[in-house]
Amino acid sequence: MIKKFCYKFKQPITMYQASELNKKIWYLSELLYDYQLQYDEEKCVGIKVKIEENAYEAFKNYLCNILKNDIYELKNISTEELWSHQLAKDISEDTTMYLLRQNNLVHIHGEGQVSLKYPVTELFEFFDAILKNLSVQIFSAEQYIFPTLIKTSVLGDAGYFDSFPNLWNFVSRLHNDYSTFSDFKTESCNMDMNNIQKMSLVTGYSLPPTMCYYVYDMLRESKVSNATVTTRGKSFRYESNYCKNMSRLWDFTIRETVFLGSKEYVNQSLEKYRIIAIFIMDLLGLAGKCVYANDPFYLANNAAKRINVQRMNHSKVELRLNVSNDETIAIASFNRHNQYIAKRFHLYLNEKLDLAYTSCIGFGLERMIFTFLCQYGVKENDWPIIVKENYKKKNKEEVAIEILNKYIK
């Protein structure tokens, strides 16, 4: 039976702490149907939930653990905006998504799964061509295409499960025997997931949450000398009920660039890329901001401390663009790892086995397209000239290089 419950926190939390708590609540129970945080002036004091009655006590205990381990010790570390461009008109992400669907430009296949149709596909390739050639032309990046599946052990080596077990997607297959295939053929008509699960085997592979792990795995146990790698690939993160429009997808595409080498090379390259990326946003006339940020660590040891340190050290920066007047989404993140990744994958600078430094940049291409369409609308005539005149051209590589040469170099 579904019931409503109210729970008052043992101690109130700040608005900033409440915003971090919001990122984790849907992961506390599969049987949670709705919730609302309760506020008293400038404090969050409790929560109202709609949940299966027999799941409430467990939910409450999990909530208390999250508050204790992840929230109460969070410090609201003020950091200046690195860039901002104010929105000049009223926009709505729900309206934009409605228009995209009405004009058959996107199709929702399921939870967090969206397909794009021409000419939005051309916009997708145009933006990606600019980002790819930014890495190739300015940073001499090597280009790779990686497979879709990644060994689960690689995610473990990277420490992914210590921080984001809630986002993980593993791969299973049927048991490799005649009996299972025969049974499945019968059961597949009903698609009873419980029966199919009994016939299945969890493999040693996962769907990748991001592209950079392929690079570290490929180069493990080796010496790296001021190298840059870029790739584009499908990434998968289970977002539970946080999935919304094209702002947050389960199945999405990342253009990723990785820097490896000396501390000076890696940090200077990361900063230079960020500055150029912001210039491109200005060139496109897109509204948003660039701010210091943190990862949404979940069930991590000392999660609050890790977030505080991440924000104090400015090791993560997000480029956020408006999808409505009051809301922005991160279309890109700039992540400085120092020697953390190198230590885990044994990446060295020299024969002395001095650890290398690494950093990575990821652009969510569907998000970038969506923010553009939210701000400029779905009609091509309303788009900026630099996009309107170039995005349909056949050779987008040449167009991207021409734009970079004209405005960046």
Q: Report CA 392 to chain centroid distance, whole Å.
A: 27
What is residue 149's predicted lDDT score, i.e. its pLDDT? 97
End-to-end alpha carbon distance in the chain: 63
Pairing state of beta strands 43-52 and 32-40? antiparallel
* Residue from 326, 337, 383 nearest 361 by CA: 337
| Torsional class of 313: left (φ above 0), alpha (ψ -120 to 50), beta (otherwise) | alpha
Residue 409 is predicted with a pLDDT of 64
Phi/psi region, residue 328 (left: phi>0; alpha: psi -120 to 50; beta: rest), is: beta
Q: How confident is the model at residue 304, as a pLDDT?
A: 76
d(CA 385, CA 397): 18
Task: Report d(CA 175, CA 198) in Å as an integer.
Answer: 9
Distances (CA, A) of 347 to 153, 269, 271: 17, 18, 22
Q: Which residues contact 2 (CB under 8 A, 6 or more apart)?
A: 33, 50, 51, 52, 53
- Using alpha carbons, select from 139, 357, 356 the residue that is nearest to residue 269: 139
| Strand-strand pairing, 222-223 and 347-348 | parallel
pLDDT along the chain (409 residues), means of 10: 94 94 94 96 95 95 93 82 93 96 96 95 98 97 97 96 92 93 81 84 96 97 96 95 88 98 97 97 96 80 77 88 96 96 96 93 98 97 96 94 86
Q: Which of 157, 251, 163 has its CA nearest to residue 204?
A: 157
Q: In this structure, what token pair is assigned to residue 387?
A: 């996009």
pLDDT score of 326: 92
* Residue 35 neighbours by CB distance under 10 Å: 21
Token reading at 360? 């990575």
DSSP β-ladder status, 43-52 and 83-85: unpaired
Reduced to 3 states (helix: H, G, I; strand: E, B; else coil), residue 402 is helix
Best CA proximity match to 327, nearest among 236, 240, 245: 245
What are φ and ψ of residue 71, in 5° steps? -115, -50
Residues found in the chain:
409
- Predicted pLDDT of residue 384: 96
Cβ atoms of residues 249 and 277 within 8 Å: no
Q: 256: burial class by Cβ within 10 Å (0-12, 13-18, 19+)?
A: buried
Residue 47 CA from chain centroid, whole number: 27
Cα–Cα distance, 71 to 29 (Å, whole number):
18
Residue 232 neighbours by CB under 8 Å, 6+ apart: 128, 132, 145, 211, 253, 254, 255, 256, 365
Contacts 24+ apart (CB under 8 A), 110-118: 111/243, 111/250, 112/239, 112/243, 112/248, 112/249, 112/250, 112/251, 112/252, 113/249, 113/250, 113/251, 114/246, 114/249, 114/366, 116/366, 116/369
CA-based angle 151:132:267, to the nearest 5? 80
